[in-house]
Amino acid sequence: MKNNLYKYILGIADNSLILGQRMGSLTGHGPSLETDIACTNISLDLFGQVRSYYQYAAKIAGDNRTEDDIAMLRKEREYLNVLLVEQPNTDFAYIIARQFLFDVYHFMFLTELQKSHDVTLSAIATKSIKEVSYHQRFSSDWIKRLGDGTELSKAKMQEAINGLWTYTDELFHQTEADKAMVAQSIGVDVTKLKEGYYEVVNTILNESTLEVPESKWFQKGGKVGIHTEHLGYLLSDLQFMQRTYPNMDW
């Protein structure tokens, strides 16, 4: 039970950590000052949520580990985030598409997590969903603006959606920890979110005059620690200070 709950929390939190790191690395690189600030604000929200999850996970682990140990000192295979969030900041269309494809899921997931019988998870979800509703507005707006924009912006947006589509199905895969937590009314049954997810996504893609990809071949693995090559590079950046100067603090 304890181990399953611990893993379950990491499965949720790691998505926010890795996506937060991706968005945070845009600091000073956003296409305009306002979007730069928006992307890093989203990153800040995600990191804030991550702290609540990891603090709780550290408490459950019951040894001396801290939220920082969990964030900084695991190996690549121990991160349980979905493949979608670790995909690189290829260009602004990819950044927005990745955010959008995750936001729609994230909002639906937190809506359900609020009903968790675990009071801490329910409290974190209730807090976070208010922030995530802004993320979803932001990314959906940009999907529409670029999709229904110029010929070039549309082509780039379509390419990004096509490129990332293969990572969407994994959002609805259940791990062993998921199943155990669902059985105890602590976890969310993600398989039930799938239909609603594609309805929302497809509606917004249609409004944006973009095509819904037809490919039925999907990647998976992140939830059980098998990642794309991109995560290693991301972690070497994220963990650099703690690996180089162990236990450093400021």
**Binding window for another protein (CB under 8 A); candidates: 102-110, 132-140, 168-176, 183-191:** 132-140
Asked if 122 touches another protein (CB under 8 A), the answer is: yes
Q: How far apart are the first and last CA of the chain?
A: 35
Asked if 124 touches another protein (CB under 8 A), the answer is: yes
Query: In Å, what is the CA distance from 144 to each residue of 101, 141, 152, 170, 205?
Result: 13, 5, 14, 25, 8
Asked if 128 touches another protein (CB under 8 A), the answer is: yes
Asked if 52 touches another protein (CB under 8 A), the answer is: yes
Q: How many residues bind another protein (CB under 8 A)?
A: 28
Asked if 49 touches another protein (CB under 8 A), the answer is: yes
Of 29, 59, 75, 137, the one binding another protein by CB under 8 A: 137
Of 25, 51, 60, 219, the one binding another protein by CB under 8 A: 51
Asked if 119 touches another protein (CB under 8 A), the answer is: yes
Of 23, 38, 80, 171, the one binding another protein by CB under 8 A: 38
Based on CB atoms, which residue is closest to another protein, 36 or 159? 36
Residue list 175-204, contact with another protein (CB under 8 A):
none
Residues lying near another protein in the complex (CB under 8 A): 34-35, 37-38, 41-42, 44-49, 51-52, 119-120, 122-124, 126-128, 130-131, 134, 137-138, 141
